[in-house]
Structure 1
Amino acid sequence: MADNFYSLSVQETMQREKTDPQGLTAAQAAERLAQYGANKLDEGKRKSTFVVFLEQFKDLLVAILAVAAIISMISGQAESTIVIFAVLILNAVLGTVQYVKAEKSLAGLKAMSTPTAKVLRDGTRIEIPSEQIVPGDMVLLEAGDMVVADGRVFENFSLKVNESSLTGESVDVEKSTEPLQAEKVALGDRKNMVFSGSLVTYGRASVIVTGTGMHTELGKIASLMNQTQQRRTPLQKSLDDFSKKLSIVIMAISAVVFLLSVFRSGMPILDSLMFAVALAVAAIPEALSSIVTIVQAVGTQKMAKQHAIIKDLKAVETLGSVSVICSDKTGTLTQNRMRVQQIYADHAMLDGKDLELANDPQRLLLKTALLASDATFDEATGASIGDPTEVALVQLGGLFGVEETTYREQHPRLKELAFDSDRKLMSTLHWIEGKATLLTKGAIDVLLQRSTHLFTSAGVVPMTDEERTEILRVNHELSEQGLRVLAFACRELPEVRGLTFDDEQDFTFIGLISMIDPPREESVQAVADAKRAGIRTVMITGDHKVTASAIAKQIGIFEDGDIAVDGTELDGMTDGELDEKLQNIAVYARVSPEHKIRIVTAWQRRGCIVSMTGDGVNDAPALKQADIGVAMGITGTEVSKDAASMILSDDNFATIVKAVVNGRSVFANIKNAIKFLLSGNMSAILCVLFTSFMMLPVPFAPVHLLFINLLTDSLPAIAIGMEPARRGLLDQKPRDPKESILNRSLLLKIFGQGLLIAVAVMLAFYSGYGAGGAALASTMAFATLTLARLFHGFNCRGRGSIFRLKFTSNPFSLLAFFAGVGLLALVLFVPALEGLFLVAPLTGEHVMQIVLLAFAPTLLIQVFKVIRDRVER
């Protein structure tokens, strides 16, 4: 919206904004931005707690359990009825509590502090909350202020603004009052405007507010975020698909069992219904959703200790499937502060750290850099004030023990000509060695043209064409490396007097200082690790293409055969053309928030799971569009943190790779837990089917299966979820998100292991049936199935044998086993529980048979694993 006001008068601006019915205040815009996915959240807020509670019963598996409870009630199985209904209500309560807690947590994350602003109203300067700012207000800005609304510069006193949170560029933007022509606006020239969310770093100005709320550049980004829908994770899709298929299979098999029982064996309808109920309860993994949530929660705790804070549990397993990382450059891959790189003086190119103060030209170059700058830097605290470029020059002095404030006190500034974008120069006048000396820094093309002499170790010599050619060659070489180059010169004046622009002539050229926003030290290794893990890293930035490409090469993102494109080139591509070039584009430069969303979406069209990292407001829409958005915790804006799924509390790009390893470990643990739960359920299903076809009594009461599924099975499954990450996870390729978690290999293992347990259980059933009838048979089958599944927990800890995994590497598995055995002992041997769980008394011989039969499947599985381990080694 602000683009419409570049050439409007103050009166026109005020009139248009005041009559616009869509105008929102700055605070409202901040609120919109803080509430990522606001439309969806508002829908949730309108739901009462009771409605949320009722929604917990919408799942088809829950409906099957409810039907099972009703049938149990009709058939007179009061105990089973009570237990099933208790389980259903408990699950619904837990789901409701989790929803309410998540909503409160999100509300807390969305709360943003409201800044204040200094305005001029009725000729009086007052300070008011930003929520009270309206279009037409005159806002007074000073260094350190946060811009709270879009506006056009009315009066300017060397104003410089850092817009990196909006544009991604770390270099400050100098502002002016000059009205812009339409063609300049079209080219993106916005130097007479300031934008909400940016920071004033230098100077002061008076600004006429032209846009607030959704009519600011910040508001445009808010609109993009509201239009972006959150995506389901691969595991969510896989489990949802599994639940639907399982529900259909359960209903179909239960119906077949019921019909066979009625028409083949002539069993009473209620007894036949009990067979169907037992099968349904056996097949439903009641604890699966809770186990998955717990395993994800354990994963988030591990990641938090490694400085990766997960806002959404579902994001944990998504990390393990990430195949593309679209990373912002400024503040993410780089340090978001300029650093001196190479210096050219006295015909020599040298590293900034190798400056020799004994060399006259090099010493004068450093002196000019410090005195013709305004920035300050505190070595003790690391705090800096001023333009990042000048801060870099001050830090250069610090490397050689030159403290800028002390040095400036020794050589006070007598006069100055402030920098402006037209002259591209800044000059200061000092009394140095008994002479009035003008020190100047600026653009090389301007300063070199105005230089008549060159300062060398041999003294001041005339500037020749050969010297100019050599200096321009050096400048081109540095620029090709993505470095920003500043030129420095000096001139002696006859006396201390007022300065004019005409004094900026006849300079003695001193040298060049190049600088760059350097990569983070850990970025190179992190990108290499990501590549080893089969993950493509792509740089997305608002910086110039040359600068971005140079950084990308240093980090290892840009390699032979890769290309870089800017926003203009991207606009010229159709989606089809972008898809063709996508694999080779390593760097996107000069991009807008819309471009970032388009890039993320293009990778998603290829079936990739995309992570987007960033720290600025301009990154927020893409962070939300990505499968997992990663924000910086220290340098990141509140908006980017709200939009992200994960926040890096140490702003360390390498932490993302650690999080990927943890994500892969979490997914492996979830997969193993699912294998454990479903193989156990498979054994129960096979037993029920077998007894149905053989016209034997039902082997388990529903209460038996609920006890196993919810208590004794849950403990080993949780322990499996706490299995430590194994070596080699980073060497694996990302998991195909289209592949179901229940692939052919896993299904075969579930069926095979379930069959082994079922055989052992049916042997115990027949032993009890022959010795004491249906009651004893059911008790021995129940006890054997429970204990066999507890033993089976050790099989599902990992691919290797228990000797390879080590018993002590996961002490929780031992605790889970003994706790499960204890619960089973209570049910079998405490008289008060015998009636509730429908168990018959057991002798010592029966107990021995149960233990041996329950251990047999695990013994066979472990023998197989030991043999396989040896073959693989």
Structure 2
Amino acid sequence: MTDPSSAPDPREPLPALRRDLGAGTRGLSSREAGRRLTVYGPNEVRRRQGHTLIDDLAGQLVHPLALLLWAAAVLAYVAGTPALAVAIAAVIVVNAVFALLQERQAERAVEALSRYLPEQTRLIRDGRERTVEARLIVPGDLVVLDEGDKVPADARLVEGAVEMDMSMLTGESVPVDRAAGPSRADTPVLREHNLVFSGTTCVGGQARAVVFATGDHTELGRIAALSHHAVRERSPLELQVKRVAWLIAAIAVCVGSVFLLVGVGAGMPVAAALTFAIGLLVANVPEGLLPTITLALAAGVRSLARRGAVVKRLSAVETLGATTVICTDKTGTLTQNRMRLQAVWTPAGSADRSAEHPSGFEELADAMAECTTVTRDATGFTGDPTEVALVEGAAWLDRPADLAARDERRRALFRFDPSLRLMSVVTDTAVYLKGAPEAVLPRAPGCDRDRVLAAVAAMAERGLRVLAVATRPVDGVPARREEAERDLRLLGLVGLYDPPRPQVAEAVRRCHAAGLRVHIVTGDNGVTAAQVARAVGIGSPRMHVVAQSEGVRDHELDELLTRNQEIVFARASPETKLRIADALRAHGQVVAMTGDGVNDAPALHRADIGVAMGLSGTDVAREAATMVLTDDDFATIVAAIESGRQVYDNVRKFIVYIFTHAIPEITPFVVFALSGGTVPLAIGVLQILAIDLGTDTLPALALGREPAEPGIMARPPHRKGEGVITGAMLARAWAFLGPLSAVLVMGVFFYVLLRAGWRPGERTGVHSPLHHAYLQASTATFAGIVMCQVGTAFAVRTERTSLRRAGVFGNRLLLWAIAFELTFTALLVYTPPAQHIFVTAPLPLDVLGLLAVFPFITWGADELRRWLLRRSHAEAQGRNGRE
């Protein structure tokens, strides 16, 4: 089999298909698989996108904010300044390229996360079962399918039967049965009962299948080939900022138009009036705001990935910062998922782990090992941690398991059902069953129920997970599960201990400090779950335990969730998780919900942040989730929430930074217009462009990487639906830092002019005696705005905390960005080519001395403002405490 285009007919008789594929019952050899990988290529569907780099660049050039700059360029040309028009057009192109590169980088950052979550599959190679990356599968491979697995390639079942979720290919909402057997004539390929297809999901059963198509040759690949473009959705954060940017631009156009009419009506030359309108447009357009936000979100995604949380959407970073409630599993998330058999109980006696070789538990030990699907490889036992603990516990009870003999005896397997909370197997002679004691006892009518429940309670109070084990003789294989799991004899109880993760208690403490509640939603016993909750600090000071969560009605659930308490929902089914997520969201909470099973997918979809387990979770759960934990650790969820808050805060910081400098940039034009031209323009349009594109951008990007502010997890989350831009932010930018900067820069402008003998109304044109002084004054204004930017950058690093507490040198990127903008400014002021283009002149030492104190005045004034805010807040808290 060497030609990828000559794929065999998957519906031909199985022996013929095996022969065409060169596939035996022991799977392919590693060497043969390597050769086929060279021929067929990796098992990946290549993306085909209809838009090209040129298309994307064109989209940036006609961006709404870019259109305003185009309007400014047209006005410049009409006013008789073609050089300025060309400069503005060049700025538009440069900014479009810059924005495009940032958006592409953000998209690649999200796409590159696939390396953190390599899709893997189990298959038979060299006669042994092993796990490999799905991209390395080739035609002829024998893959193993189990509940929760995603099918890695198109394949034909050779043994077993499965239930498949085919909705992504056929739109069917109900799973369909697929089983090994001969093909049926005149049946469409997607309806063929012995075929499974890439991307679909196994929701039940177990089977083996031989791969006949990979990559672009699969049904999924053919569908993907028909897709020509995918639309990238803007995050709510980007949409909010875009609306505000439009508002600012609209204000600029309106104010510019009004002043244009007033100026012309007052006798101002048309060219001067147009210059004013151009300056107002250029000064108000936040050219780099949207791509800067995209890059900040992408940086947050990469940061989270390094900490073990893979976020699948940029907008989820924003949602994480608003999370108010975490609903978490217990096993593997709060605990280490390293189960150990700690105690056993039978009607005849009990034993604890302290006993070296307890006797009298042989029948219980044999049943424990029989009712598992654990396998053994070179590294030891593999499988569900609970079942591994049972097999290892059987050895402690002097009944080591023979897994090969166990598999030979097995005639039927009924896998664990979350709604039944049971699992059972049928052998040649008996049925063995294990599950939650409450589910097993009704099926074992002959046991002393009160005595068993007392033993269960005693184990649960020690924090043990309790399972009941039962059996009954059987002759033949029952036709249905209900027939197998009845009239049982209780053999005993097993108590499993799973220690809490050491870092969870600190993570829970941080959640409480941050105003988050943590609820446990588990299928385990309520007493056991409550013990674990207490061990890690959940439920302090008030905890409520719902022993049977499935029986809680909606109105009772609403009442529970609105109380000031944390809740342990025990014996919860996946449907319970969904109801809890719905109820919390109905009460305005932002919910992070964990899950790992197939049936958890609806709840993960419904939660604001669905969190799947990367190690123990199924493909279905990972597909449904917004975030995947690569370490299955609860502490990673808390770290992700902190990162979400950090990114959200940083976006606000550089918004304040960018908005602040609109005021000192606009003020010279306002002064020019209100004075009727008697006060010359303190800054040129090209100088404003140099600020907005040259000195403004890198500090804004550096603020997007600002470390988390001290106390970020000691405050409540921001309200759901709260705008990223608040009135307090605008007041800080437009009513405090901006006017302060405007006063400083206009002050240095008038200082230079007045020192040279200028009086209002005197000419400062090219041939006037005051022209050089005007050039120095204009240059001082330009440099003054840059120096105020430096002070503002340090000021906005914190919202209330002092800079000393945050650390003056805590953001090295910002220090490098400031070094760049100072160097860039010096080049524009002191190099002859730049002086000619940007109309600047060298500054004398006394002016440089004045400019040097601007950063300290700007930062110092805001530091004083923040100190007054902290003092006022502390006094308010003191008054509330006394009351």
| Aligned AA (1:384) | T
| Aligned AA (2:256) | S
| Aligned AA (2:288) | A
| Residue matched to 2:859 | 858
Query: Structure 1 residues 813 and 871 mapped into 2: Cα distance closer, same or farther (>3 Å)?
Result: farther
Q: How many residues are matched?
A: 733
Structure 2 runs not aligned, ≥5 long: 1-43, 125-135, 169-176, 180-194, 211-218, 225-230, 416-422, 479-484, 757-769, 875-883
| Aligned AA (2:664) | S
- Aligned counterparts of 2:855 and 2:544: Cα–Cα separation in 1: 60
Match of 1:67 among 44, 68, 71: 71
Whether the aligned pair in 2 keeps the contact of 1:486 and 1:514 (CA below 8 Å) is: no
Shift of 1:837: 0.8
Residue 251 of structure 2 aligns to a residue whose secondary structure is: helix
Query: Structure 1 residues 79 and 552 mapped into 2: Cα distance closer, same or farther (>3 Å)?
Result: farther
**1:404 matched to 2:400:** yes
| Residue matched to 1:837 | 838
**1:766 matched to 2:750:** yes
Q: How does 1:653-692 map to 2 (within 5 A)?
A: 653-692=634-673
| Aligned AA (2:614) | G
Residue 729 of structure 1 aligns to a residue whose secondary structure is: coil
- Aligned counterparts of 1:829 and 1:854: Cα–Cα separation in 2: 21
Whether the aligned pair in 2 keeps the contact of 1:787 and 1:851 (CA below 8 Å) is: yes
Query: More relative contact order in 1 or in 2 (CA 8 Å, sep 6+)?
Result: 1
Shift of 1:658: 0.6
- Aligned counterparts of 1:658 and 1:540: Cα–Cα separation in 2: 20
Whether the aligned pair in 2 keeps the contact of 1:299 and 1:666 (CA below 8 Å) is: yes
- Aligned counterparts of 1:728 and 1:201: Cα–Cα separation in 2: 50
Please give the per-residue CA displacement for 1:291-348, whole angstroms capped at 9, x wherever unaligned. 3233334433432332223343333233211223355677656777875454214765
Whether the aligned pair in 2 keeps the contact of 1:70 and 1:81 (CA below 8 Å) is: yes
- Aligned counterparts of 1:632 and 1:370: Cα–Cα separation in 2: 26
Residue 484 of structure 1 aligns to a residue whose secondary structure is: strand
| Residue matched to 2:256 | 254
Please give the per-residue CA displacement for 1:748-781, whole angstroms capped at 9, x wherever unaligned. 2112111111111111121233323543332221
Residue 628 of structure 2 aligns to a residue whose secondary structure is: strand
Residue 730 of structure 1 aligns to a residue whose secondary structure is: coil
TM norm structure 1: 0.68
- Aligned counterparts of 2:704 and 2:66: Cα–Cα separation in 1: 24
Query: Structure 1 residues 54 and 450 mapped into 2: Cα distance closer, same or farther (>3 Å)?
Result: closer
- Aligned counterparts of 1:467 and 1:703: Cα–Cα separation in 2: 90
Query: Structure 1 residues 560 and 632 mapped into 2: Cα distance closer, same or farther (>3 Å)?
Result: closer
Greater Cα offset, 703-712 or 308-317: 308-317
Whether the aligned pair in 2 keeps the contact of 1:320 and 1:662 (CA below 8 Å) is: yes
- Aligned counterparts of 2:515 and 2:655: Cα–Cα separation in 1: 26
Whether the aligned pair in 1 keeps the contact of 2:297 and 2:317 (CA below 8 Å) is: yes
Q: How does 1:29-178 map to 2 (within 5 A)?
A: 45-97=49-101
| Residue matched to 1:277 | 278
- Aligned counterparts of 2:780 and 2:296: Cα–Cα separation in 1: 32
| Residue matched to 2:543 | 559
| Residue matched to 1:392 | 389
Please give the per-residue CA displacement for 1:475-525, whole angstroms capped at 9, x wherever unaligned. 6877999733114799xxxxxxx9999xx9x99986432459887665565
| Residue matched to 1:808 | 809
| Residue matched to 2:823 | 822
Whether the aligned pair in 1 keeps the contact of 2:432 and 2:469 (CA below 8 Å) is: no
Shift of 1:692: 2.0
Whether the aligned pair in 1 keeps the contact of 2:149 and 2:202 (CA below 8 Å) is: yes
Query: Structure 1 residues 395 and 712 mapped into 2: Cα distance closer, same or farther (>3 Å)?
Result: same
Query: Structure 1 residues 471 and 194 mapped into 2: Cα distance closer, same or farther (>3 Å)?
Result: farther
| Residue matched to 1:171 | none
Whether the aligned pair in 2 keeps the contact of 1:377 and 1:394 (CA below 8 Å) is: no
Please give the per-residue CA displacement for 1:606-641, whole angstroms capped at 9, x wherever unaligned. 444343443455555654555444333333445554
Please give the per-residue CA displacement for 1:92-115, whole angstroms capped at 9, x wherever unaligned. 334445556666777787899898
Please give the per-residue CA displacement for 1:558-581, whole angstroms capped at 9, x wherever unaligned. 932768654x978xx6xx998777
Residue 544 of structure 2 aligns to a residue whose secondary structure is: coil
Whether the aligned pair in 1 keeps the contact of 2:391 and 2:400 (CA below 8 Å) is: yes
- Aligned counterparts of 1:818 and 1:518: Cα–Cα separation in 2: 51
TM norm structure 2: 0.67
- Aligned counterparts of 1:294 and 1:627: Cα–Cα separation in 2: 23
- Aligned counterparts of 1:448 and 1:640: Cα–Cα separation in 2: 31
Query: Structure 1 residues 389 and 327 mapped into 2: Cα distance closer, same or farther (>3 Å)?
Result: closer
Percent of residue pairs bearing the same amino acid type: 29
**1:703 matched to 2:686:** yes
Residue 633 of structure 2 aligns to a residue whose secondary structure is: coil
Match of 1:651 among 632, 636, 639: 632
Query: Structure 1 residues 561 and 117 mapped into 2: Cα distance closer, same or farther (>3 Å)?
Result: closer
| Residue matched to 1:486 | 469
Shift of 1:676: 1.6
Q: How does 1:203-602 map to 2 (within 5 A)?
A: 233-264=235-266, 266-327=267-328, 340=341, 342-345=343-346, 351=352, 353-354=353-354, 356-362=355-361, 365-366=364-365, 369-370=368-369, 375-376=374-375, 381=379, 383-384=381-382, 390-397=387-394, 400=396, 404=400, 470-471=451-452, 474=455, 483-487=466-470, 511-514=492-495, 526-527=507-508, 529-537=510-518, 547=525, 551=529, 554-555=532-533, 556=538, 559-560=543-544, 565-566=549-550, 583=562, 587=569, 589-591=572-574, 600=581
Shift of 1:828: 0.4
Whether the aligned pair in 2 keeps the contact of 1:142 and 1:200 (CA below 8 Å) is: no
Shift of 1:784: 1.3
| Aligned AA (2:632) | D
| Aligned AA (2:840) | V
| Aligned AA (2:71) | V
- Aligned counterparts of 2:831 and 2:265: Cα–Cα separation in 1: 40
Query: Structure 1 residues 395 and 632 mapped into 2: Cα distance closer, same or farther (>3 Å)?
Result: same
Match of 2:727 among 744, 749, 763: 744
Shift of 1:704: 1.0
Whether the aligned pair in 1 keeps the contact of 2:245 and 2:286 (CA below 8 Å) is: no
Residue 631 of structure 1 aligns to a residue whose secondary structure is: strand
RMSD (Å), alpha carbons: 5.8
